[in-house]
């Protein structure tokens, strides 16, 4: 059975019982004032939330992480980590843990369904400029690294099964909304003007139990298929197929595409596939911060379509920038929060929203343009495409 993650996404706001709220308020009141720089509650224990918790703890803050699920999910899709996001992980003290489990990403191409190469992704050029390659790491490995860092730093608590309905009841000095595209923190403090918007297609991801030796993306008429390395003997794949609702329909949509696309789908057990509705946050928020003590990170702030593969990178960059700004407030502690949050918003909002906008535009170009015209543009772009591609892969860090 295919795992359907649409229901998960719809439930991100969740509910939080009055009893649970009273318990959390009592726990916050029990904390002795003056211990560390201040108290923080991070809502959400995904990549953005855990990285934020690590950064705040390193800055001396007392942090509680609230997670609506009873346990963290262990699905194994691959994340591309750009050199700018790697540098952010280095500053969070997590770079070595990432590199120990990651693979370099090189030699990727954009192809037609018949296998003809249209262009090369500029990964090697970025590697020369940055001095380090794009890395690929499985989501479980990144989550494990973040959890290990929290445990090593000590003092952290992750409160599982906490379904939040009224974030305004949280009394910590700092509240960070890292609770995804359906963020309860965003709705409570920023209103409902911005919200999830579907693009009209589902994405499918999985892990094949063999190495394909061929990586990159294949663009067809209204659909595409991508493959990346993820671990020895395994290949991460992802696909967008408008109208497909079953594994069999996905396989049929790619049955006549170049090898190894049909083989990857045929040899991956559909019970391990993950399906989710592709959505993005629209319209863009006018600010990522509110009330001098509320901040949004990751999908809660700027959920984007997956076409640039920058979701994890922007989440890490948000977390590092926010916690660096908070740490820079120094002895001022909570009194310095309004200025620290303004600095975070100034650094990250325009960059993250530019990346989200570019991802939506790439989706339109990939799926809305006539395939022959699109392919001719890609094939004929030459150096211009390399410059565009470089901006694509640098987008989350500029």
Q: Which of 15-19, 28-32, 182-186 has the highest mean pLDDT?
A: 182-186
Any idea which of 155-169, 215-229, 236-250, 348-362 has the lowest mean pLDDT? 155-169
pLDDT at residue 152 in the model: 93
Picking from 25-39, 262-276, 324-338, which range would have the lowest pLDDT averaged per residue?
A: 25-39
**Residue 34: its pLDDT value, please?**
37
Q: Is residue 30 predicted with pLDDT exceeding 90?
A: no
pLDDT of 140 > 60? The answer is yes
Question: What pLDDT shows up at residue 2?
Answer: 63
| Predicted local confidence at residue 390, as pLDDT | 52
State yes or no: pLDDT of 387 exceeds 60.
no
Per-residue pLDDT band for 368 (boundaries 50, 70, 90) equals confident
- Give per-residue pLDDT as tens, 184-202: 999 999 999 999 999 999 9
pLDDT at 77: 83
Residue 128: exposure state from Cβ atoms within 10 A (0-12, 13-18, ≥19): exposed
As a whole number, mean pLDDT of residues 348-360 equals 97
* pLDDT in the model for residue 93: 96
Span 325-345, pLDDT tens digits: 999 987 777 889 999 999 999
Decide if pLDDT at 385 tops 90.
no
Q: Which pLDDT band holds residue 63 (cuts at 50, 70, 90)? A: very high
Alpha-carbon span 206 to 359, nearest angstrom: 21
**Residue 353: φ, ψ to 5°:** -70, -30
Mean pLDDT score of the chain, rounded to an integer?
88
- Helix axis angle for 47-58 and 311-328, nearest 10°, is 20
pLDDT above 50: residue 170: yes
At 276-307, the pLDDT tens digits run 999 999 999 999 999 999 999 999 999 999 99
Lowest mean pLDDT among 54-63, 84-93, 363-372: 363-372
Q: What tokens does 392 get?
A: 């694509």
Distances (CA, A) of 238 to 58, 210, 213, 223: 35, 15, 16, 11
Per-residue pLDDT of 94-128, as tens digits, reads: 999 999 999 999 999 999 999 999 999 989 989 99
- Label residue 156 by pLDDT band (50, 70, 90): low
- 4-8, 41-45, 249-253, 377-381: lowest mean pLDDT where? 4-8
What whole-number distance in Å separates Cα of residue 236 and Cα of residue 77? Answer: 6
């Amino acid at each position: 059975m295919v795992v359907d993650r649409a229901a998960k996404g719809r439930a991100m706001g969740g509910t939080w019982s009055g009893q649970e709220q009273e318990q959390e308020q009592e726990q916050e009141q029990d904390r002795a004032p003056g211990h560390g720089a201040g108290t923080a509650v991070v809502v959400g224990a995904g990549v953005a939330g855990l990285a934020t918790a690590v950064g705040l703890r390193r800055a001396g803050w007392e942090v509680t992480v609230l997670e609506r699920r009873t346990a963290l999910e262990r699905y194994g899709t691959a994340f591309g980590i750009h050199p700018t996001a790697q540098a952010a992980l280095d500053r969070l003290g997590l770079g070595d843990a990432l590199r120990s489990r990651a693979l370099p990403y090189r030699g990727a191409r954009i192809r037609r369904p018949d296998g003809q190469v249209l262009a090369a992704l500029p990964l090697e050029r970025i590697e020369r400029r940055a001095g380090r390659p794009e890395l690929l790491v499985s989501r479980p490995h990144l989550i494990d690294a973040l959890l290990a860092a929290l445990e090593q730093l000590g003092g952290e608590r992750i409160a599982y099964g906490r379904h939040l309905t009224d974030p305004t009841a949280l009394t910590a000095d700092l509240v960070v909304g890292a609770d995804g595209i359906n963020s309860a923190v965003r709705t409570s403090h920023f209103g409902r003007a911005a919200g999830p918007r579907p693009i009209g297609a589902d994405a499918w991801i999985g892990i094949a139990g063999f190495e394909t030796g061929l990586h990159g993306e294949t663009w067809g008429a209204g659909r595409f298929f991508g493959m990346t390395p993820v671990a020895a003997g395994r290949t991460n794949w992802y696909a967008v197929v408008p109208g497909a609702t079953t594994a069999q329909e996905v396989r049929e949509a790619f049955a006549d595409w170049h090898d190894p696309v049909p083989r990857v789908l045929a040899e991956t057990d559909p019970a391990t596939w993950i399906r989710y509705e592709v959505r993005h946050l629209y319209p863009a928020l006018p600010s990522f911060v509110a009330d001098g003590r509320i901040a949004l990170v990751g999908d809660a702030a700027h959920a984007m379509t997956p076409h640039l593969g920058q979701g994890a990178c922007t989440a890490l960059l948000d977390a590092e920038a926010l916690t660096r700004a908070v740490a820079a407030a120094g002895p001022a502690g909570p009194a310095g929060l309004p200025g620290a949050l303004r600095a975070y918003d100034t650094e990250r909002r325009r960059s993250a929203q530019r990346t989200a906008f570019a991802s939506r535009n790439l989706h339109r170009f990939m799926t809305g343009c006539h395939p022959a015209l699109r392919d001719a543009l890609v094939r004929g772009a030459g150096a211009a495409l390399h410059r565009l591609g470089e901006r694509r892969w640098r987008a989350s860090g500029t």
